[in-house]
């Protein structure tokens, strides 16, 4: 899956859960600037960040796979 699509999926998750970039970045232990790059698709999420997002939003494995690994554009 392309980084931009993953970023959009995370943005949708943030919107659904009323999270700002700053709040999510703080919970993840990264800067808001780094998160903004990842959400824009300019950088990919590291495995540790995917785990962090999964824990923060209490995602089950199916939802995690949908957000980070399965392209909807197929």
Q: Which domains can be identified in the chain, with CATH numbers?
A: 3-68 (1.10.260.40)
**Helix and strand totals (H; E) in the chain:** 5, 0
Decide: helix, strand or coil at residue 46.
coil
Matching residue, tokens 């931009």? 4
Q: For residue range 41-56, what is the model confidence (pLDDT) as tens digits? A: 999 999 999 999 999 9
- Proportion of the chain above pLDDT 70, given as a percent: 97
Mean confidence (pLDDT) of the chain: 94
Whole-number Å distance between alpha carbons of 27 and 22: 9
**C-alpha 63, offset from chain centre:** 12
């Amino acid at each position: 899956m392309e980084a931009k699509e993953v970023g959009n999926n995370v943005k949708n998750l943030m919107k659904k859960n009323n999270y700002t970039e700053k709040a999510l970045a703080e919970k993840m232990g990264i800067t808001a600037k780094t998160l903004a790059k990842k959400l824009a698709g300019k950088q990919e999420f590291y495995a540790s960040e995917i785990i962090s997002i999964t824990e923060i939003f209490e995602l089950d494995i199916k939802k995690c796979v949908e957000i980070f690994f399965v392209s909807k554009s197929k």
